[in-house]
């Protein structure tokens, strides 16, 4: 990786270029712009895919799945390159991934449970809402 | 602070290269008394920041959990509600945040290279991105507020300044009253008619249908069929006229703002018979999640302003830029969460 | 909170007086704005103990009310509701959760580790100030702002979010809980980073004292669970204020979802309370039986295992709340697995005691008491984790007895044991050992009389949180048990007053403590009592912190010292006589 030498006297000791005299890992500017371009393209793909009607191919949940996959890819790119996770200590990634796993666990258990008892829940407008609608003269 | 300043033992084992530009780093004032060297301190600061970011993920996680459960159980509410969000603005905001994330990352690189003007330019650009995001969010929010698309019970109130709310009751109010009065009068007459009929001897069915109403009895004398028909027609005509007026208004609106008028073809949720039950849930979770995210953006603005101030004061160097790095990490997480919020709310 | 005066009867050398952390700087502001982890720890301890006093008063009020079936104290049942709610909320959020990690942990952790301070001293002070701010909100609730708080410490919806049902104090209380949550998160962050980045050379992971392993596991839970509590109470606040309808079924919300949110934090929070307590016991058992801890790695990993399992069992609080049968079975099954790492710890402690040279000092008595009480508390947890028996026992005094055995009998007793253990280090004074043993006897007997009867009470069907119990089929039986339980609570209170008495007395008139009164081998016993401001002049090199063979009793200073025939490895801190004078 090569990049513009803004502080040549700091960096000339380091032939690899993206190293520098200070602490931490410096990512070259062009590379960050490149990453950002990829992210913008992925955003475009997400928007485009949301207008595709996957029902024609009998894949009703495909829009959501695709959007989430692309979002996860984007998130990973942001973490790895913008947030320097790729060059950071593994423990940092471990902490972050642990939090995501715990979140998945939380959502997983909670959604399994609510799905189970959902048949017992009244699926109409709830009582307070019906009262409000009656006040407005808008009951269905 | 009444702590007596202490002398530090400096074990700068990690700092071999001396930076000619920052001679004061031989006695770094940024180094806390309990650290051996700046690198150790930097690593610790970053680890602490990442732990904080993990807590941020779990803080938002509660709302993501609520979202998953509600959408999993009621996809119709989300499909319905997201019609009222503008994909255009959502996409623009995503791009704004991604670009500001890039400038923030570039700022960290600038700080690592000791490029002070570059760092300030990057931070200012990031700040502009943050303000841009907040501006667009303000436009979106104020639209929702005017339309009355609010979270929770507030959703079920008449909107303050709506484009899609049809004031049908007010326009039709007096006509409704007349038509109710007519209905009452008619049913009264009908009842009298029935009573009168009951008094009469039963007629064969065929005759009854062919007879003129005037011939039925005393009350039927002034009740000719023509009058009845006129009455029916009048009621019918009135409704038709209202519809025509609405069409005209819509046409005029369309001529002025064709794009908005396209949206106005939608019904206001409260007036829409196809509105799914508990439709306010979409806006509840939308406002909670984007609101919490917005609070984080505002905090981010404060952090960036503080970083700009510190940069002007010349506090950062390639050996000490922990606040820039941590502020950057925070800003990327704000971006990260929006990356998920955008498809989850706007693209359904 | 002022510095501790030196009694005239025992003159000390001026430089020594100047060089411990208590006398390093003077004046109230030097405490309130200190960045020294030891002072912050001591301030936490004072705060936690004063809140413990307040919570204890409410406990006594609740117990006294139940002396008669008609209620002996409160005319209005709402006042009884306020009393037990404040007792629970104060004890959980302001006392037990910060007691061991924030108070003792803050004091001990960096010294044990061989560091000069925690990683982020300013954040540490900020976290203490957040604790103070949270306490202020609870004091507001205490003086019945907006009618006070009567929801129970769990704030269950839709009761808590409905105007005209629960009192408005719930808004203030949840702000307090939110703030206290962040206080806890920052403490946890600080500990994790300290243990990762400030270990001196030689202090490897498996040379760390087990208390540090326990604090580390606790800190992981604090960081990863508490944010969910934050968002839960924030949602509760929004719900009550703006009618968001997140949890309110009348607005399309889901009250069972609230319980999922709440217990996702609050079950791991139980382990925030018990894990550091277990860490203290590991230290106490080993030091006071002068024997190497048995199964070091098993105890260390069981702490981590408990932390992990702690995240997987929250649903066992919700067996009767409308949770689905499928999830009930899953949570019940995982709940039983928590007993494995807990049992590993207990058996390892027993194995450590076996053939040890046990000194029955006050801290050791508390440790032994802990093992007994924790065994009862843990095993009764199995009754409650079983689906069928839980239907019968849920919301009865059996549950009350179970969690008091674990939270109070285990966590708080370990905390008090730890306080006795490190008291000489903190204050530089010895308390009276005989009074200490007497105080322990009162606490142990009082505790068991109070809460063991409640197991019987609950299994006979007495529901919890009832202000009166007249007119029930078993009223006479309940009455008898309640009277015994209340008498026990008075004995317990007396025990705590005795303890407070001799500890306060020791500050002013206790003997000067030697550097190592118990024969501990971990690093905090190698600096002076009380420690100097900077803990260590340079990072010490450490050996096996449970190897007591290198120490011997020194009659002259009434403490332990390094054996003269063994060379001291590295250069552990000797004392801080140089430097700041």
User: Does residue C189 belong to the interface with chain B, where contact is any CB pair within 8 Å?
Assistant: yes
Q: Taking a contact as any Cβ pair under 8 Å apart, which residues of chain A between 76 and 105 contact chain C?
A: 91, 98-99, 102, 105
Per CB-CB distance under 8 Å, the chain A contacts of C256 are 113-114, 117
For chain A, where are the E strands, in sequence order? none
Return the residue of A nearest to B64 by Cα.
A107
Q: What is the DSSP letter of C315?
A: G
* pLDDT at B20 > cutoff 50: no
Is C581's pLDDT higher than 80? no
Q: What is the mean pLDDT of chain C?
A: 90
pLDDT for the residue numbered C335: 93
Q: What is the DSSP letter of B25?
A: G
The whole-number pLDDT of residue B249 equals 59
Q: Who contacts B338 (Cβ-Cβ below 8 Å, separation ≥6)? A: B93, B94, B97, B293
B84 touches chain A (CB under 8 A): no
| Pair (A100, A60) in one structural domain | no
Residues A98 and A44 in one domain: no
Which residues does chain A have within 8 Å of residue B277's beta carbon, measured at their own beta carbons? 123-126
Q: Which CATH architecture has domain B35-162+271-345?
A: Up-down Bundle (1.20)
Q: Once rounded to an integer, what is the mean pLDDT over residues B149-158?
A: 86
Q: Does the distance separating the beta carbons of C121 and B34 come in below 8 Å? A: yes
User: Which string of b and e fits C201-234 if b means at least 16 CB within 10 Å?
Assistant: eebeeebbbbbbbbbbbbbbbbbbbbbbbbbbbb
DSSP state of B83: G
CA quadruple C408, C409, C414, C417: dihedral, nearest 10: 110
Fill in the DSSP letter of residue C219. Answer: H
Q: Coil, strand or helix: which one is B75?
A: helix
Look at B62 and C226 and tell me if their CB atoms are within 8 Å: no
The mean pLDDT value for C120-127 works out to 95
Sign of CA dihedral C523, C528, C529, C534: negative
Q: What is the pLDDT of chain A when averaged over all its residues? A: 81
pLDDT at position B215, please?
44
Tell me if B343 and A71 make a contact (CB, 8 A cut-off): yes
Q: Is C510 within 8 Å of C429 (Cβ atoms)? A: yes
Instruction: Tell whether C257 is within 8 A of chain B (Cβ).
Output: yes
Q: Among partner residues A99, A106, A126, which is closest to C252 by beta-carbon distance? A: A126
Q: Is the pLDDT of residue C291 over 70?
A: yes
CB of A114 within 8 Å of a chain C CB? The answer is: yes
Give the separation between CA B118 and CA C234, rounded to whole angstroms: 40
Q: What is the rounded distance in angstroms from the CA atom of residue C103 to the CA atom of residue B33?
A: 22
Q: For residue C554, what are the β-bridge partners?
A: C559
**Same domain membership, residue A45 and residue A34:** yes
Sequential DSSP letters for A50-96: HHS-GGGGT-TTHHHHHHHHHHHHHHHHIIIIIT-GGGS-HHHHHHH
Closest among C180, C12, C42 to C577, alpha carbons compared:
C12
Show the DSSP H helices in C355-410 as ranges: 362-385, 387-393, 397-403
Nearest to C251 among A105, A117, A128 (CB): A128
B231-290 per-position pLDDT tens digit: 444 444 444 445 555 556 555 655 565 555 444 446 788 887 788 888 889 999 999 999
Instruction: Looking at the structure, tell me whether residues A69 and A98 fall in a common domain.
Output: no
In angstroms, rounded to a whole number, what is the distance separating the alpha carbons of residues A112 and C125? 42
8 Å CB contact of B55 and A136: no
Q: How distant is the Cα of B259 from the closest Cα of chain A, in angstroms? A: 19
What is the distance in angstroms between the CA of the first residue and the CA of the last residue of chain B? 55
Closest to B29 (Cα-Cα) out of B8, B47, B44? B8
How many of the other CB atoms lie within 10 Å of CB of B256? 9
C-alpha distance from C315 to closest chain A C-alpha (Å)? 9
| Chain B residues within 8 Å of chain C (Cβ atoms) | 1-4, 6-7, 9, 32-34, 36, 40, 43-45, 47-48, 51-52, 54-56, 58-63, 65-66, 69, 151-154, 277-278, 280-281, 284, 288
Q: Is C132:C47 a contact under the CB 8 Å cutoff?
A: yes
Calculate Rg over the CA atoms of chain C: 24
Same domain for A56 and A31, yes or no, is yes
Burial status of residue C553 (CB atoms within 10 A of its CB: 0-12, 13-18, 19 or more): exposed
Domain co-membership, A42 together with A7:
yes
Averaged over C542-569, what is the pLDDT?
Answer: 84
Mean residue pLDDT of chain B comes to 76
Q: How close C112 gets to chain B, by Cα (Å)?
A: 15
Query: To which H or E segment does residue C276 belong?
Result: helix C255-288
Residue ranges covered by each domain of chain B: 35-162+271-345, 168-266
Q: Is B156 exposed, middle or buried (0-12, 13-18, 19+ CB in 10 A)?
A: buried
Angle, CA of C132, C138 and C140, to the nearest 5° = 105
Q: Find the mean pLDDT for residues A26-47.
A: 93
SS3 A85: helix
C238 touches B at CB < 8 Å: yes
Residue C350 makes CB contacts below 8 A (sequence gap 6+) with C371
**Which domains can be identified in chain C, with CATH numbers?**
14-562 (1.20.210.10)
DSSP single-letter state for residue C40: H
User: Whole domain around residue A128: which residue ranges?
Assistant: 89-140
Cα distances from C131 to residues B320, C179, C268, C534, in angstroms, run 31, 7, 20, 25
- Which tens digit of pLDDT belongs to each residue from A11-29? 333 333 444 556 778 889 9
Q: What percent of chain A has pLDDT over 70?
A: 83
B40 touches chain A (CB under 8 A): no
Q: Mind telling me how many Å the CA of B75 is from chain C's nearest CA?
A: 14
Provide, rounded to the nearest whole percent, the portion of chain B with pLDDT above 90.
42
Regarding an ipTM greater than 0.85, the answer is: yes
Residues A10 and A73 in one domain: yes
Q: What is the DSSP string of C510-570?
A: PEEPPS-SS---SGGGGS-SSPPTTS-SSPPP---TT-GGGEEEETTTTEEEE-TTSPPPS
Q: Which residues of C touch A118 (CB under 8 A)?
A: none
A46 and A100, same domain (yes or no):
no
Q: Is residue C169 within 8 Å of C145, Cβ to Cβ?
A: yes
Write out chain B residues lying below 8 Å of C110, CB-based: 34
Which chain B residues are closer than 8 Å to C224 by Cβ? 54-55, 58
| β-strand partners of C429 | C512
Using one digit for the tens of pLDDT, what is the confidence trace for C195-254? Answer: 999 988 888 999 999 999 999 999 999 999 999 999 999 999 999 998 888 898 888 888
- pLDDT tens for residues B124-135? 999 999 999 999
In a shared domain, residues A49 and A108:
no
Say if the Cβ atoms of C120 and B51 lie within 8 Å: no
Strands C551-554 and C559-562: antiparallel
Question: What SS3 class is residue A3?
Answer: coil
Summarize pLDDT for C17-50 with one digit per residue, the tens: 457 888 888 888 888 999 999 999 999 999 999 9
- Higher-confidence residue of B100 and C12: namely B100
DSSP H or E run through C430: strand C429-430
Model confidence at B143: pLDDT above 70: yes
Measure the CA–CA gap between B270 and B263, rounded to whole angstroms.
16
Domain boundary among A49, A68, A88: A88
Distance from CA of A95 to the nearest CA of C (A): 9
Taking an 8 Å cut-off on Cβ atoms, the answer to whether B69 and A21 are in contact is: no
pLDDT at C539: 61
Question: Nearest CB to B43: which of C35, C188, C197?
Answer: C197
A11/A21 same-domain check: yes
Report the DSSP pairing between strands C559-562 and C429-430. Answer: unpaired
d(CA C273, CA C275): 6
Least confident interval from B53-67, C405-419, C524-538: C524-538
Specify the pLDDT at position C534: 83
**B118, B110 contact by CB (below 8 A):** yes
Interface of A with B in 28-87 (CB under 8 A): 28-29, 32-33, 35-36, 39-40, 43, 46-47, 50, 63-64, 67-68, 70-71, 74-75, 78-79, 81-84
The β-bridge relationship of strands C559-562 and C511-512 is unpaired
H helix or E strand, kind and range, residue C429 = strand C429-430
Q: How many domains does chain A have?
A: 2
Distance, in Å, from the CA atom of C442 to the CA atom of C424, rounded to the nearest integer, reads: 22
- Determine contact: C116 vs chain B, CB below 8 A: yes
Distance from CA of C191 to the nearest CA of A (A): 14
Q: How far apart are CA B70 and CA C503, in angstroms?
A: 55
What is d(CA C520, CA C547) in angstroms, rounded to the nearest whole number?
Answer: 9
Kindly state whether residues A67 and A102 are assigned to the same domain: no
Distance CA B326, CA B316 (A): 13
Closest CA of chain C from B40, distance in Å: 7
Contact C462, C431 (CB under 8 A): no
How far is residue C497 from each of residues C112, C420, C462, C511, C541, measured CA to CA in Å?
A: 30, 15, 30, 21, 41
pLDDT classification of B177: cutoffs 50, 70, 90: low
d(Cα B63, Cα B61) in Å, to the nearest integer?
Answer: 5
Interface residue B19 vs chain A (CB under 8 A) = yes
User: Which of A3, A13, A24, A62 is the best mutation test for B, with the most CBs of B within 10 A?
Assistant: A24
pLDDT at residue C395 tops 50: yes
Least confident interval from B185-199, C185-199, C201-215, C414-428: B185-199
B154: which chain C residues are within 8 Å (Cβ-Cβ)?
242-243
| Contact residues on chain A for C264, CB-CB shorter than 8 A | 106
């Amino acid at each position: 990786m090569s990049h513009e030498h803004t502080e040549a006297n700091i960096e000339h000791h380091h032939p690899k270029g993206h190293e520098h005299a200070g602490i931490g890992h410096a990512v070259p500017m062009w590379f960050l712009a490149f990453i950002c371009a990829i992210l913008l393209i992925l955003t475009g793909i997400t928007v485009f895919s949301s207008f595709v009607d996957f029902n024609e191919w009998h894949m009703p949940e495909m829009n959501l799945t695709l959007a989430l996959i692309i979002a996860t890819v984007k998130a990973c790119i942001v973490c790895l390159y913008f947030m320097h996770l790729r060059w950071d200590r593994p423990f940092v990634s471990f902490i972050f991934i642990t939090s995501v796993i715990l979140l998945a666990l939380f959502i997983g258990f909670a959604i399994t449970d609510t799905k189970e008892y959902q048949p017992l829940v009244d699926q109409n407008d709830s009582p307070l809402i019906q009262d409000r609608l009656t006040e407005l003269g808008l009951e269905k | 602070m009444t702590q007596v300043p202490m002398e530090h033992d400096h074990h700068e084992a990690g700092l071999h290269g001396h930076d000619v530009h920052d001679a004061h780093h031989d006695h770094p004032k940024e180094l806390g008394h309990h650290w051996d060297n700046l690198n150790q301190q930097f690593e610790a600061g970053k680890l602490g920041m990442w732990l904080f970011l993990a807590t941020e993920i779990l803080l938002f996680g509660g709302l993501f959990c609520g979202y998953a459960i509600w959408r999993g159980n009621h996809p119709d509410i989300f499909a319905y509600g997201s019609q009222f969000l503008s994909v255009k603005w959502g996409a623009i905001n995503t791009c704004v945040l991604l670009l500001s994330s890039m400038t923030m990352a570039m700022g960290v690189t600038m700080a690592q290279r000791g490029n002070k003007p570059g760092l300030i330019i990057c931070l200012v650009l990031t700040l502009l991105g943050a303000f841009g995001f907040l501006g667009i969010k303000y436009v979106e929010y104020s639209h929702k507020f005017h339309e009355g698309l609010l979270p929770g019970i507030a959703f079920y109130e008449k909107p303050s300044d709506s484009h899609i709310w049809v004031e049908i009751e007010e326009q039709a109010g007096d006509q409704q009253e007349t038509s109710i009065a007519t209905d009452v009068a008619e049913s009264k007459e009908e009842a009298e008619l029935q009573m009168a009929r009951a008094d009469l001897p039963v007629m064969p069915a065929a005759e009854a249908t062919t007879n003129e109403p005037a011939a039925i009895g005393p009350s039927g004398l002034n009740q000719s069929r023509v009058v009845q028909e006129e009455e029916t027609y009048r009621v019918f005509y009135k409704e038709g006229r209202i519809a025509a007026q609405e069409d005209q208004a819509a046409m005029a609106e369309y001529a002025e703002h064709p794009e908005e008028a396209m949206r106005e073809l939608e019904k206001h949720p409260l007036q829409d018979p196809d509105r799914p039950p508990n439709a306010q849930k979409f806006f509840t979770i939308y406002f909670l999640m984007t609101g919490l995210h917005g609070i984080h953006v505002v905090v981010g603005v404060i952090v960036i302003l503080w970083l700009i101030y510190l940069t002007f004061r010349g506090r950062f160097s390639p050996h000490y830029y922990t606040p820039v790095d941590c502020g950057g990490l925070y800003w990327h997480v704000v971006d990260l969460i929006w990356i998920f919020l955008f498809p989850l709310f706007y693209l359904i | 909170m002022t510095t501790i005066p030196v009694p005239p009867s025992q003159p000390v050398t001026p430089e020594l007086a100047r060089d411990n952390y208590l006398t390093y700087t003077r004046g109230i502001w030097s405490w309130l704005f200190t960045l020294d982890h030891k002072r912050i720890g001591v301030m936490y301890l004072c705060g936690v103990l004063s809140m413990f006093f307040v919570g204890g008063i409410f406990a006594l009020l609740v117990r006294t009310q139940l002396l008669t079936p008609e209620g002996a104290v409160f005319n209005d049942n709402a006042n009884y509701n306020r009393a037990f709610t404040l007792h629970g909320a104060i004890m959980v959020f302001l006392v037990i959760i910060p007691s061991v990690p924030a108070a003792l942990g803050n004091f001990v952790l960096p010294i044990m580790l061989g560091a000069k301070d925690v990683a982020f001293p300013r954040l540490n002070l900020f976290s203490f100030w957040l604790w103070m701010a949270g306490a202020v909100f609870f004091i507001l609730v205490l003086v019945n702002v907006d009618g006070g708080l009567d929801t129970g410490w769990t704030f269950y919806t839709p009761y808590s979010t409905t105007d005209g049902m629960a009192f408005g104090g719930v808004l203030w209380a949840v702000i307090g809980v939110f703030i206290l949550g962040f206080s806890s998160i920052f403490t946890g962050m600080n500990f994790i980073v300290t243990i990762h980045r400030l270990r001196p050379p030689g202090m490897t992971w498996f040379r760390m004292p087990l208390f540090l392993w326990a604090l580390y596991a606790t800190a992981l839970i604090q960081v990863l669970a508490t944010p969910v509590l934050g968002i839960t109470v924030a949602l509760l606040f929004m719900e009550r204020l703006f009618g968001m309808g997140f949890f309110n079924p009348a607005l399309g919300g889901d009250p069972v979802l609230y319980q999922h949110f709440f217990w996702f934090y609050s079950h791991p929070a139980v382990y925030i309370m018990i894990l550091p307590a277990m860490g203290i016991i590991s230290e106490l058992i080993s030091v006071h039986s002068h024997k190497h801890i048995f199964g070091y790695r098993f105890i260390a990993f069981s702490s981590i295992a408990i932390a992990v399992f702690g995240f997987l069992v929250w649903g066992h609080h919700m067996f009767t709340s409308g949770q689905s049968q499928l999830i009930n079975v899953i949570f019940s099954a995982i709940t039983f697995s928590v007993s494995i790492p807990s049992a590993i710890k207990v058996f390892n402690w027993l194995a450590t005691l076996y053939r040890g040279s046990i000194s029955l000092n006050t801290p050791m008595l508390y440790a032994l008491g802990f093992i007994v009480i924790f065994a009862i508390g843990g095993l009764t947890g199995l009754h409650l984790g079983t689906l069928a028996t839980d239907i019968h026992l849920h919301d009865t005094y059996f549950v009350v007895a179970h969690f008091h055995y674990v939270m109070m009998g285990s966590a708080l007793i370990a905390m008090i044991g730890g306080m006795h253990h490190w008291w000489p280090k903190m204050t530089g004074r010895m308390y009276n050992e005989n009074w200490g043993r007497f105080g322990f006897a009162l606490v142990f007997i009082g505790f068991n009389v109070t809460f063991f009867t409640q197991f019987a009470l609950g299994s006979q069907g007495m529901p919890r949180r009832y202000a009166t119990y007249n007119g029930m089929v078993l009223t006479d039986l309940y009455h008898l048990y309640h009277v015994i339980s209340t008498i026990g609570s008075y004995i317990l209170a007396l025990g705590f007053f005795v303890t407070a008495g001799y500890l306060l007395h020791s500050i002013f008139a206790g003997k000067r403590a030697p550097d190592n009164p118990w024969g501990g081998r971990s690093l905090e016993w190698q600096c002076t009592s009380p420690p100097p401001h900077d803990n260590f002049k340079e990072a010490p090199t450490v050996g096996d912190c449970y190897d007591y063979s290198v120490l011997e009793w020194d009659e002259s200073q009434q403490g332990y010292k390094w054996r003269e025939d063994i060379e001291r490895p590295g250069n552990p801190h000797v004392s801080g006589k140089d430097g700041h004078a």
